[in-house]
């Protein structure tokens, strides 16, 4: 068994505590939380501390705090040469204090307080400074997830940009779709099956092969009808830019 100490009490920290609690490979040695009572439903209170001086020895320390706090928190761990990782998608491994061995343990998912997730399905992006530490992180990740990935800090930066396009921006397009529906007294739920199929299809076809619609067909009659229909200038601009980008991509083939 490997002993893991978690520092933080946010959404990621809580989901990790829940997931590790069900693992027979990992023992949660201790959890650090400024407000110890916020975690009392998840873990016995004698394992929770709000005092850095009381942090005990452990095989692995997982810092799951805001990006801005990672550096200073990592400097307050009262040990040297221990394996210390953070769970951020954007912060470089270099931001961790050099007093300890550094690493990253980044679960790639949107965590909401009230929505249960199946951790087995969540990719965990791992990074370490040497092979031995990497194997420790990999075994810990495998105890809760079927999808460990070796991702460097440089790659993690790219991955975050890709996630902004494929998720944050996608959600904004859902919002525009939903606004157009509402304005025309159409229930947005009518689009759910199509949205679901669009998200599902790319597992079987590349997004390039899966592309359909008027831009893909270069159907200028429909494109112009849609532009005439749109009254909101930002929506019009987004329609034009994405249509042009789809058409240009087609020409590259």
CB of residue 247 to its own copies, shortest distance in Å: 10
Interface with its own copies (CB under 8 A), residue from 57, 80, 121, 132: 121
Query: Applying CB under 8 A, does 66 fall inside the site for its own copies?
Result: no
| Residues contacting its own copies: total by CB under 8 A | 88
Sheet holding 2-7, edge to edge: 48-49, 26-32, 2-7, 60-63, 83-86, 101-107, 123-128, 147-150
The token pair that represents 126 in the structure block: 């791992």
Which is closer to its own copies, CB of 39 or CB of 124?
124
Of residues 215 through 234, those in contact with its own copies by CB under 8 A are 215-216, 222, 225-226, 229-230, 234
For CA atoms 106, 108, 112, 113, give the dihedral sign. negative
48 vs 122 by CB, closer to its own copies: 122
Helix (H) or strand (E) holding 143: none
Q: Which of positions 136-195 make contact with its own copies (CB under 8 A)?
A: 147, 149, 151, 154-155, 157-178, 180-181, 183-187, 189-195
Distances (CA, A) of 81 to 84, 156, 178: 9, 24, 52
Distance spanning both ends of the chain, measured CA to CA: 53
Q: How far is the CB of 129 from its own copies (least distance, A)?
A: 19
Q: Is 108 in the site for its own copies (CB under 8 A)?
A: yes
**44 touches its own copies (CB under 8 A):** no
- Least distance between its own copies and beta carbon 13 (Å): 18
Structure tokens at 204: 């079987």
């Amino acid at each position: 068994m490997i002993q893991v100490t978690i520092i933080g009490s946010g959404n990621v920290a809580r989901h990790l505590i829940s997931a590790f609690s069900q693992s027979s490979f990992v023992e949660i040695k201790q959890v650090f939380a400024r407000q110890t009572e916020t975690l009392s439903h998840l873990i016995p209170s004698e394992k929770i501390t709000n005092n850095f001086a009381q942090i005990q020895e452990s095989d692995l320390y997982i810092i799951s705090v805001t990006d801005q706090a990672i550096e200073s928190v990592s400097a307050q761990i009262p040990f040297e040469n221990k394996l210390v990782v953070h769970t951020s998608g954007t912060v470089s491994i270099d931001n961790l204090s050099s007093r300890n061995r550094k690493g990253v343990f980044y679960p790639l998912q949107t965590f909401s307080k009230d929505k249960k997730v199946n951790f087995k399905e969540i990719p965990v992006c791992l990074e370490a400074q040497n092979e031995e530490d990497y194997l420790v992180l990999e075994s810990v990740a495998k105890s809760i997830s079927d999808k460990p990935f070796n991702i460097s800090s440089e790659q993690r930066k790219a991955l975050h940009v890709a996630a902004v396009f494929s998720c944050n921006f996608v959600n904004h397009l859902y919002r525009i779709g939903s606004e157009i529906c509402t304005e025309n007294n159409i229930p947005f739920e009518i689009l759910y099956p199509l949205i679901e199929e669009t998200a599902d299809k790319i597992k079987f076809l590349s997004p390039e092969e899966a592309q359909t619609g008027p831009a893909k067909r270069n159907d200028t009659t429909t494109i112009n009808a849609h532009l005439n229909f749109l009254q909101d200038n930002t929506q019009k601009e987004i329609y034009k830019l994405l249509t042009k980008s789809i058409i240009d991509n087609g020409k590259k083939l």
